[in-house]
Amino acid sequence: MSRLNTLLCCACLLGASTLVHAQNQAPAPVSSDALVDPVAARQQAREIVQGDPARWYREDATRQARMRTHQKEIGAALQEARNACKRLAAAERKGCEQEARATYQRDLTEAKAQPD
């Protein structure tokens, strides 16, 4: 699966998770770069100036490499969700964190279940 297909697949999984969450709870904050950790945002800005890294265009050749990529992307989505939860009122934060962890676990399980 190409890097673009992997990203699109993850986006679909995250979109489906967000849709289910939205149906069960109050509207979640809209995802944006504002949810990215400031340290990571500065690093991303430096990388953007240099152009796309070559690694973006190399396909993950093995199942193990694809799984590492999935885990990294799912972990980044968890971090963004946690950052969004921190912006909520204290009463809503715990439920948001629980939902973020549940989504993380579900996404990992689904990634492991994907065929080679």
User: Model's pTM, two decimal places?
Assistant: 0.59
53 C-beta neighbours (distance < 10 Å), count: 9
Q: Which residues contact 28 (CB under 8 A, 6 or more apart)?
A: 18, 21, 22, 84, 96
* pLDDT tens digits, 37-52: 788 888 888 888 888 8
81 C-beta neighbours (distance < 10 Å), count: 25
Q: 22-31, 49-58, 99-108: which has the highest mean pLDDT?
A: 99-108
Are the C-beta atoms of 71 and 77 separated by less than 8 Å? no
Closest CA to 72 of 20, 6, 25: 6
Confidence of residue 1 (pLDDT cuts 50, 70, 90): very low
